[in-house]
Structure 1
Amino acid sequence: MDATVRARWFDGRRSQARPVLLRLAGDRKGRASLRLHPLDAAGLPPLDLPPGEFSWPDTWEPTGASPRLTVDLGQHGSVEVEGAQWEQALHACGARAGMAQRLQRRWPLIAAALLCLALVIWAFTRWGAPWTAGQLARFAPLSWERSVSQDALNQLEAQGILKPSRIARSRQAELRSRFASMSAEAPATLRPDASYAPPMDLQFRAGMGANAFALPGGVIVLTDGMVELAAQSGIGDEALMGVLAHEAGHVLHRHGTRRVIELGILNVGSALVLGDASGLAATGGTLLAALAYSRDHEREADCFAIAMMQATAQPLAPMAALLRAADKAHADAKGGTPALTVEWLQTHPDTGGRAASLEAGQRANCPRG
């Protein structure tokens, strides 16, 4: 079976289109072959193209439209044909377009495919990337983690987000000593990975309000605002030890390292999809985004803090009181009342529930020791 339509042939040798008769012939498998008969040059032999040597035209236009379609002939140029005539000729000779060309005119299928792609991307972002990062984090050298942390601190200081601490050196030494003693008393069985025990490096900085955060490799930053909030509220150093135990949980679970690797995976994936590697985040910028730990990470850090405080006979109620005081200060700051900006709470959701868990000495879904 075959069908013939008029078309214009751009052969790549002359600037003007050549009028041709385009004959489509279909075989039993629904494949089509083409034969071009030039109409403006007597004696010029026809051009025969078997299936696979020409590309089917795109047909994104809705049914009923009659666009001019272009059939790619490879080294022989291209043919321009009326869309409606092309469709009629295909039907007449029994030829069928490939799957991709047929799907182009079925918008529900296209929408479904896009939805499936979005779900796959969401699932990989939600589960795939974190799982992969967790596996890779186990092989990250401690020296690399400390280098990443130092780069992040340098960037925060260069941007003026962190500044030198105003707390007296003797006071800093007192808190470091107390935290070191508590860490030394904690049994090694509390660590999620017995082979990973980085030295804890407690540093003090001004800026970022009442805050505390952990960086990869054992760096923990406690801001002046957090120390001052504990003092102004009359809560005491036990609350600060609870905060530091929580941050130690982030360190030992390697949450910072996992988040840096996870964001790196997502950045590389985006660069591959978009074909542009210039959007890859620098180490420091990636780490700043990594400070927004997931709820699972926060739960693990809370569970570690509870276990560590209980193992070293430290009270948990002061930490709960500090959480509530920080929550109130944050609310006052939002209402316009002069108060400390408690950015620590922004990555530690459900303050009331966490405080209640601390007072009860247990948190839901914590592993049994």
Structure 2
Amino acid sequence: MLSTRSSPPPNATTALIRANWFDGQSSQPRKVLVSLSPSLQGGPDLLVHPLQSPGDKPRRYAHRSIEWPEAWSTRRPQETLIIDLKDGGSLEILEAGKWQDALAAADFRPGIAQRMQTRWPMFVGVFVVAAIGMVAFYKYGTPWAAAQLTRWVPLSWESALSSEAMAQMDEGMLKPSKLSKERQQQLRDQFDSLLAKTPASLKRYHGYEPRYTLQFRRGMGANAFALPGGTIVVTDGLVDTARSQQIGDDAIIGVLAHEIGHVAHRHTTRMVVEQGVLQTGLGLALGDVSALISTGSTLLTGLAYQRNHEREADCFAIALLKNAEISTVPMGELLLAMAARRGKDGEEKDKDRKDTTATAPHAPASSASNPDGAANREAQTPEARLTSRRKKPCSPCSARTLKPSRAQEN
């Protein structure tokens, strides 16, 4: 359909408007008249008519060579407008009302920024689109970009970070394990057997082969956590809880499968990259990002993205246990026992935490899955935890995968 909007002929000019011309050669302004001439180069050209030389030909300034003033309101135009002619100096328009009429007569079309300033529907529309874009970037774009960029992070960096974090915790909240060497080796053998049964389909990053090591420490209650690069730590409290409740080692192996999932998905590294991607995106969208916004983005990353990491580790663990033909029921029983123990020992743990807070560093939140905290948070079996965390099951954790077979339960 052809547009019915008519444009002035190319040789037409608008009415003359009084202005002061600061040509950059004199400190005194020159009285001039200006008009607009329609052009096919994106907008009207500007004509400057000197009053001191009436017979001289007006100077023409192309539309693209001028910085046009923005109008904040079409109903209440500014009393004075300044037009930057760049090398030609500047113009001070003395008749703002006539200037707006001349722009309309010359078929001047303001840019989107000016239309936002003068038209509320345009402003609201652009704001809604920008808000949707930022939410989509935060929810989908940042995790996807971080997952891709993590591929290029060297394993040596993760190993160095893991060694430093382990050394700090050994100097603070963690102590040498009191488990016997035989018991530690027994659990390591089962851990190695589980690793050997990890299918290639569960390995997210092709070519990523960390050196998995299982270490034992005393402290932090009943807990287990993974550090980047393959180091997994189990506390004596976790092993003692399984023993006191007469739960087999399959429960501990289930927790270790969850921690292996954190390492395989490189969650600690991804958390660092996600924070960087998010802050970069905020900087591009908002300009100079203040410390408050930067801190807020870090908190949002830790809360929202870490939940997604826990879900991925849960899915990985259940798929791995199924492949190894290990029931998930003992793991659920262990989590329930840990929740009960946490309730009984809460006051004692709070006292111990106060004693160590002043001097002891904390385990990295992004690297520790903290099954004790997970048990206290929901006190459910792994299947129920996954169901409550998300509306739809993830691909490796279908309903058939989550439900243990009758043979496994027996």
How much does 1:177 deviate?
A: 4.3
CA contact (8 A) 1:249 1:305 kept: yes
Q: Secondary structure of 2:81's match?
A: strand
Within the candidate set 338, 351, 361, 2:378 is matched to: 351
Question: Is residue 2:288 matched to residue 1:261?
Answer: no
- Listed as ranges, the matches of 1:217-366 within 5 Å are 217-223=229-235, 226=238, 238-273=250-285, 293-309=305-321, 316-327=328-339, 337-339=347-349, 351-355=378-382, 357=384, 364-365=393-394, 366=397
Question: Is residue 2:170 matched to residue 1:143?
Answer: no
CA contact (8 A) 1:54 1:72 kept: yes
How much does 1:244 deviate?
A: 1.8
| Alpha-carbon spacing, 1:116–1:205, altered in 2? closer, same or farther (3 Å) | farther
Q: Which residue of 1 is the match for residue 134 of structure 2?
A: 121
Q: Which residue of 1 is the match for residue 199 of structure 2?
A: 189
Q: Distance in 2 between matches of 1:141 and 1:290?
A: 22
Q: Distance in 2 between matches of 1:190 and 1:28?
A: 62
| Alpha-carbon spacing, 1:321–1:195, altered in 2? closer, same or farther (3 Å) | same
CA contact (8 A) 2:336 2:381 kept: no
Q: Distance in 1 between matches of 2:46 and 2:272?
A: 55
Q: Secondary structure of 1:258's match?
A: helix
Q: Residue deviations 1:239-296, cap 9 Å, x none? A: 43322221112212333333333333323334444566998xxxxxx8xx66975444
How much does 1:87 deviate?
A: 0.5
| Structure 1 counterpart of 2:146, one-letter code | A
| Identical-pair percentage | 38
CA contact (8 A) 1:298 1:348 kept: no
- Listed as ranges, the matches of 1:44-55 within 5 Å are 46-55=58-67
Q: Which residue of 2 is the match for residue 106 of structure 1?
A: 119
How much does 1:73 deviate?
A: 0.9
Gaps of 5+ in 1: 280-285
Gaps of 5+ in 2: 1-12, 292-297, 354-368, 402-410
Question: Is residue 2:44 matched to residue 1:35?
Answer: no
Q: Distance in 2 between matches of 1:316 and 1:59?
A: 67
CA contact (8 A) 1:103 1:109 kept: yes
Compute the RMSD of aligned alpha carbons: 4.4
Q: Distance in 2 between matches of 1:234 and 1:299?
A: 28
How much does 1:36 deviate?
A: 2.3
Q: Residue deviations 1:14-62, cap 9 Å, x none? A: 44443322222335788322222344x5579553323322122111236
Q: Secondary structure of 1:48's match?
A: strand
| Structure 1 counterpart of 2:121, one-letter code | P
Within the candidate set 89, 106, 112, 2:102 is matched to: 89
| Structure 2 counterpart of 1:96, one-letter code | F
CA contact (8 A) 1:161 1:207 kept: no
| Alpha-carbon spacing, 1:238–1:27, altered in 2? closer, same or farther (3 Å) | closer
Q: Distance in 1 between matches of 2:131 and 2:181?
A: 49
| Alpha-carbon spacing, 1:262–1:327, altered in 2? closer, same or farther (3 Å) | same
- Listed as ranges, the matches of 1:54-69 within 5 Å are 54-61=66-73, 63-69=75-81
How much does 1:106 deviate?
A: 1.5
TM-score under structure 2 length normalisation = 0.68
Q: Which residue of 2 is the match for residue 168 of structure 1?
A: 177
CA contact (8 A) 1:321 1:355 kept: no
